[in-house]
Amino acid sequence: MAIPFLSLRDVTALHGEEINDAISRVVNGGWYLQGKENESFEQNYSKFIGTRYCVGCANGLDALIWIFRAYLEMGVMKRGDEVIVPANTYIATILAITENGLKPILVEPKFNTLEIDDSLIEAAITPKTKAIAVVHLYGRNAYTDEIGALCRKYNLKLVEDNAQAHGCKHTDGRVTGSIGDAAGHSFYPGKNLGALGDGGAVTTNDPDLAATVRALANYGSQKKYVFKYTGRNSRLDEIQAAVLNVKLKYLVEDNAHRKEVAHYYYEHINNPLISMPDLLPDELNAYHLFPILVSGGKRDGLHDYLERNGVGTVCHYPIAPHKQECYREWNSKSLPITEKIADEELSLPIGPTISMDEVKAIVNLANSFK
Ligand SMILES: *Cc1c(COP(=O)(O)O)cnc(C)c1O
């Protein structure tokens, strides 16, 4: 038996013919940047998310960088201001803040949700706080109405990192990526909506923010050969936009399969060493990853056991951001819940192509681990 953590070849093959046609159309059309494919993807994706604007860019990290940089350029924030961010996140969220000379204020997650603990946010707010960054990590909606209330009370921007949550919703029906003032999206191949290379986007209802981000990602230019900002070249290319236009059509269907897989795990994993985060209402989870927590110091043991039996798993993430060398100044900080997640988390295979027979085999193996 060989069940990879995620077979991108299978994921692409699922809509392979249409993807190949789309790529050929761009190749033969002779227009490779800032063309019709980007225009239609931006329209389609903003409609899907429920925002007025979508601006394509090179990758998810850049999308987040451009949001904060735009707020600096717009005078909404200044260097040295603080941004509240979950301590348990992929490092890109935090890099986007420090890249702009802003100060991340790390807030612990709840162990039963793995998402930012909204009851700890207010105590972290200071006169320098300008924004809260929520990360819908693992595909789980991290926004709460309490977070929205804090943003209003303290006049903070709400920035969503929606890299892992394409198709996730809030209880009120809003799609993640449309809840905050701005959202960064990644189309890294392994994401729910993945390109065949790097890609990203910013969604927002704010016309000034959208225009500023668009300029920043295009050398800082709004008019050819006229430069308003010292920007960079961070664009989504036409081939990737064409691929994303195809894959977006199937995102809801692909996510539905993820849900079926996740429910099977929830209902059948019964190894006392393994716990799972609280089951959310279906619409609040895009099931990008399926995180489990392995107690007794046995996470790596389970990983190896599954690997020996042909099942690929990945830890998201083995070293918390505050323990990374690039953030030496935080290395002595104690964030016990984040650290416990880094020690115990293991992601089981989930995706649009894994078969239910494979899922059953994984459950049997996980349950037989001692
Ligand atoms: C993937 C990811 C990013 C970065 O996206 P890239 O396209 O890989 O740059 C940012 N935040 C989170 C939570 C991610 O998972």
- Per-residue pLDDT of the chain in tens (370 residues, 90 and over written 9): 799 999 999 999 999 999 999 999 999 999 999 999 999 999 999 999 999 999 999 999 999 999 999 999 999 999 999 999 999 999 999 999 999 999 999 999 999 999 999 999 999 999 999 999 999 999 999 999 999 999 999 999 999 999 999 999 999 999 999 999 999 999 999 999 999 999 999 999 999 999 999 999 999 999 999 999 999 999 999 999 999 999 999 999 999 999 999 999 999 999 999 999 999 999 999 999 999 999 999 999 999 999 999 999 999 999 999 999 999 999 999 999 999 999 999 999 999 999 999 999 999 999 999 9
Q: What is the pLDDT of residue 1?
A: 77
Site to probe by mutation for ligand 1, drawn from 90, 91, 97 as the one with most ligand atoms within 8 Å of Cβ, is 90
CA 61 / ligand 1 centre spacing (Å): 6
- Over the range 289-316, which residues count as b (16 or more CB within 10 Å of their CB) and which as e? bbbbbbeeebbeebbebbeebebbbbbb
CA 223 / ligand 1 centre spacing (Å): 30
Asked if 111 contacts 133 with a C-beta cutoff of 8 angstroms, the reply is no
Q: What is the pLDDT of residue 224?
A: 92
Residue nearest to atom 5 of ligand 1 (CA): 60
CA 339 / ligand 1 centre spacing (Å): 20
- Over the range 146-163, which residues count as b (16 or more CB within 10 Å of their CB) and which as e? ebbebbeeeebbbbbbbb
CA–CA separation, 291 vs 137, rounded Å? 10
Please give the model's pTM, rounded to 2 decimal places: 0.98
